[in-house]
Structure 1
Amino acid sequence: MRRRSFLAAGVTAAFAGCVQLPREAPPSSEELVRDALETRIGLTDLQGLRTVTVEEPSATVERTERILQRPPAERRLEVIQSTDPAVPMGTVSVRSRTEMWEFEPARGRVTNVSHPNRFIADRTRIVLESLLEEYDLEYEDTDTVGDRTAHVLHATPTADEEMSRSISVLVGDTQYVLPLATDEDVDFEEATVTRTFWIDDEHRYPVKERNVVSVDDDLLHGITFALDELAIDEGVDDDAFTYQPPDGVELVERGIEPVGIYDSLEEAATVVPYDLPEPDVPEPYELDRVTVIERGEHTIATSWYVDPEFTERELYVAVEEEQRFNEDVLEEVDLDGHEAYVRDGSLESVFWTCGELSYEVTSPMDDEPILEVASSIGCPAARRRTFELPARSAWSSVASAGQLSSAPSRSERSL
């Protein structure tokens, strides 16, 4: 990690006539954000105490949570102090690549969500990238956050956006929907969002962020995150990202439990009724896991390939026994003489069918050669194999009337 230090504004003269040295110029705002982005991309793990302060005209609540991360997928939050009744002390959130646990002590309930086939974005990285691309940055000064010296930056959107009743703001690794007004007398169209960031001088890492929605300097909603006792790349045990529910609590299970998650194509092939492709993927991608799920009478096998140096960079190859893409809303392309269809957007995908099987290659990175990966698979002579899948544990799900709950969801939000 790079560390810069400022020269004192002046040097005490030991002799008469000694010339005062000028103060070293502070780093530019863009340099600080680029350094923070580099730190985030390069770090292996992070630990600290995070204080979350939520301000509204009628009240202010605060909580302190212990946070452990191995970006982008693994994270553990434990609320150790709180004046927020929605997120009381004892709330726990644990997430891995394939599932999430939420413990709500006020309800005596644990929710387990299986998400074996889900991209998990590093939202802290996305925030930092958005600051460079979508905001004008202004350097203010240095400040102290916890026991650290930090540089203070103000961020103003470069483009005016039409206001509505709420604003969606990406704060750390969570999307926040901030209400602009609950009072009809408030002119919410005049609302502004002010964002301020504190970047640690030693590690060049964001250690504080404040977002304020206001009208004519009257605060409507504010949220502040501040990290203390920051530790980067000091090691986090694997056990931190597993969870065992306490005795006597209600367990709610949601999502699709996989038949299994396998380390190799050979292992996964023993539980699927068709041959699995072995695509040519770009370097340095390598196979990370193969997830197998059942949807009704159909089996879906998804092979996940990950860049080991940048684990957020993922792409997958999925094989299933029914066509689930709509040709009418996709662009048709030629795939070595076969009809294929592409999707652009937050996910880049190519879909095609071969015999009784449907194939998909998808990546969230728009610069990955997914058509070349699809071409390396082509239309194999897929021979269906008939056999009984191994028995697996019973799976029950509880339908949700809405979100998991507002309390645990808020406990996930971070720098």
Structure 2
Amino acid sequence: MSVGDSDYRSALPVLALILILLMAGCAALPSSGPTPEDIEREIAAADPPDEVSATVDVRRTIDGETTHYTEDIWLRADGRSRVETNANGAETVVVDDGDDRWHYDPAADWATRLETDPNATSYLQGIYEQQERYLEAYEITGVEEATVDGRDTYRVTFDPPTNETIERSISVLIEDTEYVLPLATSEGEPAQRGADRVEVWYDRETLFPVKHAIEGDGVTLERTYRNLEIDGGIDDERFAFDPQSSTGNETSVETITFPSINSYETVDAAEDAVPFEVVEPSADAMPDGLELESIDAYEFHDENRTQVSLQYRTPDDETVSVTTSDGPRRFATGGDAVPVGTARGTIAGTDEGTELQWPCGGRYYSVFAESGFDEETAIAVGESLETGC
């Protein structure tokens, strides 16, 4: 054995010790993690999984009043979904089987059935599209690793623009009335609220938003997905719904059908497509800045009714719409009696604005003025219509 071999062998334990120390040192070094740019690319590129099921814990506080409820959800990328909500002991069930969307109130034993819009965004797809909208509107200001209900996540902080306000609602996950948090004062006026903080915890593997938090002027909202299963195999029976078998009773079912909608470039073109004359407001009666934005004809098949709506918009996005119809609206807003020319109508204020409506000569007319306008605007526009009354 040469001297060189002996020196090499005697040095092995020392080399091994140095290697162990170096490896230990590397393991102890903190990981820098992904940058905001990395996360932005990953969120933008993420696709929804085929299936998601979870219990969603929802907690919201508005002006010191806290509401807490849970939702058991089963979602599929093909659009089928089931949401069972329990709020203070009151239960509701919403099931979309791909053809029909059921809303069921077990306590009242009452259900509504709506035909599923084939072009509508699915609940699951909408969750991911909401994240893309955050990227378009906000800036990512922080990324850190975190854990939510045992899942490894990225906690991402979005910084809203300083002039961002939430006027009437916060659309949290999807643009659907069931998942919108309304914001209004006790007097019913729209509340102007700013979003100071938006945070989302994304599952590291799928970029699914397992937690969502908003904080702003007197408002906090959190949605946390617990017992989350992704592509766990959901039984098809989850998306089948028969209201009669839910209680064994004769459940009251109301069927609602979506109208057919056609848009037109001119009032004359819309008038040629419907069996009645379409009225237009006088320019003198319209507030300054309103411009005709859209002309839409709606055919309500279940009501045997057609209407044409003209929508006018200001540069500040305040709207006034004028509608002519050949039949009464099924869900018309009530209100106080008011004269409109020689006709008698009703006027009502809602969180969204003022609605004036009245019948005349077998036709039905309405004017809706958004909350930025007063009742006098709706009345002036209505009285300017040449309806023959």
Q: TM-score, normalised by structure 1?
A: 0.51
1:210 to 200, 207, 213: 213
Residue type matched to 2:232 in 1?
E
The root-mean-square deviation of aligned C-alpha atoms, in Å, is: 3.9
Q: 1:328 Cα deviation (Å)?
A: 1.4
Q: Which residue of 1 aligns with 2:227?
A: 229
**Aligned match of 1:71:** 77
Q: What are structure 2's unaligned runs of at least 5 residues? A: 1-17, 270-292, 294-328, 334-389
Whether contact under 8 Å (1:112, 1:253) holds in the other structure is: yes
| TM superposition shift of 1:18 | 8.0
Whether the 8 Å CA contact 2:36–2:143 is kept in 1: the answer is: no
Whether the 8 Å CA contact 2:213–2:222 is kept in 1: the answer is yes
Q: Per the alignment, do residues 150 and 116 of structure 1 end up closer, same or farther by CA in structure 2, a change over 3 Å counting?
A: closer
For 1:171, what is the secondary structure of its paired residue?
Answer: coil
For residues 118 and 53 of structure 2, the distance between their equivalents in structure 1, rounded to whole angstroms, comes to 27
Alignment of 1:113 with 2:114, yes or no, is yes
Q: Is the 8 A contact 1:36 1:205 kept in 2?
A: no
Hey, what's the Cα distance between the residues in 1 that align with 2:70 and 2:225?
10
- Verify the 8 A CA contact 1:72 1:120 in the aligned structure 2: no
In structure 1, the partner of 2:256 is: 255
Rounded to whole Å, the distance in 2 between the matches of 1:400 and 1:253 is: 13
Q: Residues 7-53 of structure 1: CA distance to partner in whole angstroms, max 9, x if unpaired? A: xxxxxx99779873332211123433543454434x21111221111
> Percent same amino acid among aligned pairs?
18
Cα distance change on mapping 1:256 and 1:29 into 2, 3 Å: same
SS in structure 2 opposite 1:239? helix
- State the Cα distance separating 1:162 from its structure 2 match: 5.5
Q: Does 1:123 align with 2:130?
A: no
Matches within 5 A, 1:127-166: 127-158=130-161, 160-161=163-164, 164=167, 166=168
Corresponding pairs, count: 251
Please say which of residues 169-178 and 118-127 is displaced more in the overlay: 169-178
Q: How does 1:319-398 map to 2 (within 5 A)?
A: 324-328=262-266
Contact 1:48/1:229, CA 8 A, preserved across alignment: yes
SS in 1 for 2:266: helix
In structure 2, what is the Cα distance between the partners aligned to 1:168 and 1:103?
Answer: 24
- Secondary structure at 1:202's aligned position in 2? coil
CA contact (8 A) 1:124 1:173 kept: no
Structure 1: state its 5+ residue gaps.
1-12, 215-219, 258-294, 301-317, 319-323, 332-344, 346-397, 403-415
Give distance in 2, aligned partners of 1:254 and 1:118: 20
Distance (Å, rounded) in 2 between the aligned partners of 1:202 and 1:208? 15
Structure 2 CA distance, aligned partners of 1:26 and 1:64? 33
TM-score, scaled relative to structure 2: 0.54
Query: Judging changes above 3 Å, is the alpha-carbon distance between structure 1 residues 44 and 54 closer, same or farther for their aligned structure 2 residues?
Result: same
Aligned CA distance change for structure 1 residues 108 and 27 (closer, same or farther; 3 Å): same
Structure with larger RCO (C-alpha < 8 A, sep 6+): 1
Check 1:15–1:138 CA distance in 2 against 1; reply closer, same or farther (3 A cut): same
Compare the two structures and name the one with the higher helix fraction: 2
Structure 1 equivalent of residue 68 of structure 2: 62
User: Secondary structure of the residue that 2:232 maps to in structure 1?
Assistant: coil
1:64 aligned counterpart, secondary structure: strand
Q: Distance in 2 between matches of 1:183 and 1:70?
A: 40
**Contact 1:212–1:221 (Cα < 8 Å) also in 2:** yes
How do residues 261-276 of structure 1 correspond to structure 2 at under 5 angstroms? Answer: none
**Partner amino acid for 1:176?**
V
Once the two structures are superposed, residues 298-353 of structure 1 have per-residue CA deviations (whole angstroms, 9 ceiling, x without a partner) of xx9xxxxxxxxxxxxxxxxx9xxxxx54241799xxxxxxxxxxxxx9xxxxxxxx
